[in-house]
Amino acid sequence: MILLLGIHVAFCQQKATTDRPNIIFIMSDDHAYQAISAYDTRLINTPNIDRIAKNGMLFTQASVTNSICAPSRATILTGKHTHINGKVDNHFPFDTTNITFPQILQQAGYQTAMFGKLHFGNSPKGFDQFKILPDQGAYYNPDFITKKEGNIKVEGYVTDIITDMTLEWLQKERKPEQPFLLMYLHKAPHRSWLMAERHLTDFTTKTFPEPKTLFDDYSGRTSPALEAEMNILHHMAWAGDNKVFPEVMDELGIAEIGFDKARYAYEMGRFTPSQGENFRKAYSKINQDFKKAYPAMSDKEKMQWKYQRYMQDYLGTIQAVDENVGRVLDYLEENNLMENTIIVYTSDQGFYLGEHGWFDKRFIYDESFKTPLLISWPGKIKPGSRSDELVQNLDFAPTFLEAAGVKVPSDMQGESLLPLLKGEPQKWTRKAVYYHYYEYPAEHMVNRHYAIVTKDYKLIHYYYVEDQWELIDRKKDPLELKNVYNDPAYAKVRKQLHGQLSGLRKKYGDTDQLSGQYVEKFMEDATQGKV
Ligand code: SGN
Ligand code: CA
């Protein structure tokens, strides 16, 4: 009897452990939802990423709290807004006294691993294994900082390599007796958009539809949209981004934009001779045609030409992300690992693909404020379901902890997505989200702003250089071209949103945008030109 009881207890413990779901968190860098066919079929077909939506749930209103890389990652790991976790910008180091959800899961018995881009300036805590790119990382022949092998350099294409590492860990290091957290984090499709050799000839000959606001003149909003330096015509580099050969620029007398040729030279310098040859070959016809056309091109035509070049390269990098996500999903299917696994696909923020004439992110306008989010969890999430709730990257930490049956620390600020995933949206409470972007003055010159976003409106405060408010009617003006803040017809809405915004700022503890130790240090760095 005692023996039987012992066996029973052991069995229950074992069951309790294996019942806890595995978590695979797949995140790309700067992946716009417009470039995932589950969201939008105009630009690219991504059958593998779409598999996650087919098996699970697609979120139409997922957003970030601060649309920039490292701050978004800090929010994901801590479940806290920027002003609390302190990761104000891409440069200020992550404060490792923060407690992150992987640390908590590891302590609770999860096996943990991270592969790819983190961008914290320091190594992640709470991981049994990691291989991360230093800083932004390189597309070709990238270096990695690893937990067990020191610093290594791997020949090949970064998206394939990160996936190889991920699969190798699943095959050789995963311990079947433990649930696992696997963070699989792509560098692609980050600037400067170098695609894999196998896609070069396909994508450099494609043509893509232009967005409606490619020629936005920014007249309907306050000054930050006009002052930002992320316009495709004016700020995208000819060689460094669009792959115009530097000697062609010289021949045509085209002036550099930023570190244009230096960045091109840096990328070229990383290639092996054969990779470099393939690259030059793939872009040589484009360069020949450009040389002939350029002297007669109007500004409008230059914008159109640069937009096509941008899309070819950006989407080309996504083709490899999709293929590699497919490799991981296939492995999980073939090894019976789908059943009890939460698979998330998201990006650290959205990205402008020519909307408002822009590339990059940072602003609260939809294409960069929103981010793709697809989650599958067989048996728990109804296949092919959708949610229009206002979820955020802030919510991942509490979601994963709750799914693992671990207590969520009371100072985490997100809301668990479990009710939405399990088809109980009536239990979801959030009706408005809070946003705060800080990195200014800095690259792309997007002014600091904070905001409240509801399903119907955005109330935005650009506070740093000038004091300016914007009110966007999301339903009537989905392209976000018109500030109606001073329109008397919106007086009541404006008043109500101001009240809600103050309430949110109080709730999240962001009462004074210019104070707090992190922000003060950031300001000091910014004034000294270190940001
Ligand atoms: C680099 C890019 C910027 C980009 C930042 C932040 N410039 O500095 O265009 O906004 O990264 O990106 S580049 O000339 O170096 O490509 S983030 O995704 O890391 O936030
Ligand atoms: Ca990013």
Mutate to test the pocket of ligand 1, among 76, 82, 89, 136 (most ligand atoms within 8 A of CB): 136
Nearest ligand 1 atom, CA 349: 18
Give the ligand with the smallest distance to the CA of 368: 2
Nearest C-alpha to atom 18 of ligand 1 is from which residue? 69
Nearest C-alpha to atom 19 of ligand 1 is from which residue? 69
Radius of gyration from C-alpha coordinates of the chain: 23
Nearest C-alpha to atom 13 of ligand 1 is from which residue? 191
Task: Report CA(133)–ligand 1 centroid distance (Å).
Answer: 15
The neighbouring-strand residues paired with 461 are 450, 469
Note the pLDDT tens digit of each residue in 151-201. Answer: 999 999 999 999 999 999 999 999 999 999 999 999 999 999 999 999 999
Pocket of ligand 1 (CB under 6 A): 29-30, 68-69, 90, 119, 136, 190-192, 263, 360, 443-444
The neighbouring-strand residues paired with 470 are 460
| pLDDT higher than threshold 70 for residue 51 | yes
Note the pLDDT tens digit of each residue in 227-264. Answer: 999 999 999 999 999 999 999 999 999 999 999 999 99
For residue 513, the one-letter residue type is: Q
Predicted TM-score (pTM) of the model is 0.95
Note the pLDDT tens digit of each residue in 408-436. Answer: 999 999 999 999 999 999 999 999 999 99
Task: Report CA(191)–ligand 1 centroid distance (Å).
Answer: 6
| pLDDT higher than threshold 70 for residue 202 | yes
The average confidence (pLDDT) of the chain is: 94
pLDDT value at position 19? 87
Nearest ligand 1 atom, CA 68: 20
Nearest ligand 1 atom, CA 259: 14
Give the ligand with the smallest distance to the CA of 444: 1
| pLDDT higher than threshold 60 for residue 2 | no
| pLDDT higher than threshold 50 for residue 4 | no
Nearest ligand 1 atom, CA 360: 10
Task: Report CA(253)–ligand 2 centroid distance (Å).
Answer: 33
Nearest ligand 1 atom, CA 240: 14
∠ CA 3-9-13, rounded to 5°: 145
Note the pLDDT tens digit of each residue in 262-291. Answer: 999 999 999 999 999 999 999 999 999 999
Whether residue 193 contacts residue 33, with contact meaning beta carbons closer than 8 Å, is answered with no
The confidence band for 10, taking pLDDT boundaries of 50, 70 and 90, is very low
Give the ligand with the smallest distance to the CA of 361: 1
For residue 185, the SS3 value is strand
Distance, in Å, from the CA atom of 411 to the CA atom of 83, rounded to the nearest integer, reads 13
pLDDT value at position 351? 98
pLDDT value at position 511? 78
The neighbouring-strand residues paired with 143 are 153
Q: Is the peptide bond before 192 cis (omega within 30 degrees of 0)?
A: yes
For residue 358, the SS3 value is strand
| pLDDT higher than threshold 70 for residue 15 | no
Specify burial of residue 13 (Cβ count, 10 A radius: 0-12, 13-18, 19+): exposed
CB neighbours of residue 20 within 10 Å: 19
Task: Report CA(133)–ligand 2 centroid distance (Å).
Answer: 14
Nearest ligand 1 atom, CA 192: 16
| pLDDT higher than threshold 80 for residue 146 | yes
Q: Give Dmax over CA atoms of the chain in angstroms.
A: 92
